[in-house]
Structure 1
Amino acid sequence: MKTLLSPVEARIIGCLLEKQVTTPDQYPMSLNGVVTACNQKSNREPVMTLGETGVQDALDLLTKKHLITSFSGSGQRVVKYEHRFCNSEFGQLRFSAAELALVTTLLLRGPQTPGELRTRSTRLHEFTDMAELEQTLENLAAREDGPFVVRLAREPGKRESRYMHLFSGEVDEAALPASSGASESGD
């Protein structure tokens, strides 16, 4: 990765990617919409409490990095934001729908097991089975223009290893919170 994202920038990109797919009528998003999406209590780990100023500062930095764009057309009262992170006319990254679902989920939720990813990415992409999901993770980890994800060491007492995105740089596994274990029952 050439451009590294802060945790707030990663959350914003993840929110824009998610909302583009799940609520296209609300996309591009206003500052208020981005703040609300970033602070959402469901489908986010960790839950954040970001203010408008902090989000606006991060949006400005992402604009300077050419990862998002802002516009306010004639008749619009508020500035709207859309990503240029991937699969856009100006972005260099290209992801399949399956890859995009996994990247988005990892940006929003942090380290996840394949089982957690399958359950939590359903609104973005329906994986036919675990083999497809695991192959997609392997592809993201082995891409020449990447890698974009890394497989973490398996935690003691857990059945599956977790995966993490690399858009914020190399992962310091010692600094990561332990998984909740909620999905280790096979969901």
Structure 2
Amino acid sequence: MIAGTTLTLAGVGLFMGAMGKSSQFPLHIWLPDAMEGPTPVSALMHAATMVAAGVYLSVRIFPILTPDALLVVAYVGGFTAIFAASIAITQTDIKKVLAYSTVSQLGYMILAVGTGVYTAAFFHLLTHAMFKANLFYGSGSVIHSMHHALHEKHDQKQILRTCEIWEDLKIKCLLPIGLCF
């Protein structure tokens, strides 16, 4: 039997490794800066491989986390979710907005692990991977159609039209299968 303090320190240490991989608060800088690559690479990083490993590790170590360690996990996840969402709304680059929204969603997943609903965190991880990959592919199409000029004011109407078309397609495709908004 391991003493409570030792187990807490071990759990927090393992969680610190997961923090770096899932881009939690003090280690959140690397993910938005990694979005300089091509869109398919960004989609792969955000959807399937890189960020999923940290949340998966947090779910796997859940049984050994003490209540004190879970409290640390919950606070880090909750703060990351709010902090990254507030940064995302100030960004002007579409890939940075998606990157910070990913960090925010990862914060919600880590918060779920910290509060004990690790199955919901894992389900959120799977659904997030599916829709974030599609968002990155869609953003790549928008960036390509705008000729990399997202910051110019005269192109904002074209972005708005593209978003309206995307929303219209989403509604028309998802309503017949029973998904409402």
Same fold (TM over 0.5): no
Q: Which has the higher helix share?
A: 2
Q: Which has the higher strand share?
A: 1
